[in-house]
Amino acid sequence: MSDADPSSDLDPELTEAPAVLARFKRALTLSMLAVVVLGTIFFLQDLAPSLRPYSLQPQVGAGLLGVLTAPLLHGSIGHLAANSLSVLILGTLAGTVFPRATLRALPVLWIGSGLGTWLIATGGFHIGASGVTHGLGFLVFTLGILRRDRPAIAASLIAFFFFGGMLMSVLPIEMGVSWEYHLSGAVFGVICGFVWRRADPVPPRRRYSWEIEEEQPPETTLELPSPDEVPVIWHRPADRAPTETGVVLPFRRPPAE
């Protein structure tokens, strides 16, 4: 006789915790590495004679190179800090909760946000990783709405708490800000959310007692039992003849007044 597996009695959320921690460490490390790369490139930009050849120029053939290089460039330390914070938080969040969907979506967000900006923008030189960060933000928003499991909902709420302003930054409300880059990243983030909403398995969750009781079939039914199943309370004595009838007790009428 084999012994029962003791891990089967553990809370499924507790058994999943080591895997979640490992995904968090990996996503945080990669996000920090991305921030270091962006910072290094920013401080090396001064060595280049001009950033225009590497920026994204809409409707210009030479500007297509910027689809690949523009997300790596930033115009100021404030611009770099804002995008680095978004990369760090959203990259860690998406990589922890949706590792497979994020890995597949990142190339699409990078290329798609650049191509969308190249098509719809009317001029200027567009640089910065905001297209990718908006794509990550809207990816997390969309997966939270579509999947509706507790980690996905929690991730979307955290992303909305820190970056809810992304919902407004896709509109042309601020001069000097590439809303086209934001809008293109947001559109491809939503598309990636729909395409890869099932890329990551649904995490196990704790099942409460009332959920288990609802799944068990009821012990009693509302149907009446058959006559053979009805218990008999009184039995005819064995020594009484089958033709013998019962005794009729006479009741006298009350005297008339």
Q: Residue ranges per domain, the chain?
A: 13-195
**Rounded Cα–Cα distance for residues 163 and 87 (Å):** 11
pTM for the structure as a whole = 0.75
In this predicted structure, the answer to whether residue 2 has a pLDDT above a threshold of 50 is: no
What is the number of alpha carbons within 13 Å of residue 251 lying toward its C-beta?
2
Note the pLDDT tens digit of each residue in 105-118: 999 999 999 999 99
What pLDDT was estimated at residue 1? 43
Residue 198's SS3 state is coil
Looking at 3.40.47.10, 1.10.760.10, 3.40.1390.10, 1.20.1540.10, the CATH number of the domain 13-195 comes to 1.20.1540.10
**Rounded Cα–Cα distance for residues 134 and 140 (Å):** 10
Q: Do the Cβ atoms of 173 and 86 come closer than 8 Å? A: no
Note the pLDDT tens digit of each residue in 25-52: 999 999 999 999 999 999 999 888 888 8
Taking Cα atoms as reference points, which of 130, 107, 129, 126 lies closest to residue 56? 126
